[in-house]
A = this chain, B = another copy of it.
Amino acid sequence: MTERWREEFEAERTLLNERVLASGHLGIKRFFALDEQAYQSGALPTKVKELLGLVASMVLRCDDCIAYHLIRCHEEGVTREEFQEAFNVALIVGGSIVIPHLRFAAEKLESLLEK
């Protein structure tokens, strides 16, 4: 059961991204390509870049973006302790308004780690 949200999240995300890109708008397509390239390993490894994306998503308070970067961080081997410290930075920078998103992230993280 714990992985169902992830499968549903990823299926929905893929479907809707296809719809967005089906519009054929070149600027939007190119932005999506830049977005993907921004997290590729370079001077900073992908793991660090995904943590940057996760914390940015938490302080900007976007659950959909948090879910995406949680999954990607998990794939890159971020441990429970590293997640907690990144969550703490997001909480301190962004304040109590971040707490509902911290609850969301904590819940999704458990299901990823339980697998």
Report which A residues bind B (CB closer than 8 A).
13, 16-17, 19-20, 23-25, 27-28, 30-31, 34-35, 37-39, 42-44, 48-49, 51-53, 55-57, 59-62, 64-65, 79-82, 84-100, 102-104, 106-107, 110
Can you identify 8 A-B contacts, CB atoms within 8 angstroms?
A16-B104, A20-B103, A28-B84, A28-B102, A35-B96, A43-B79, A56-B94, A94-B95
CA gap between A44 and B43 in the complex, in Å: 17
Q: Which of A43, A65, A93, A97 has the most CB of B within 10 A?
A: A93
| Smallest CB-CB A-B distances: 5 pairs | A95-B95, A43-B81, A16-B103, A64-B100, A25-B84
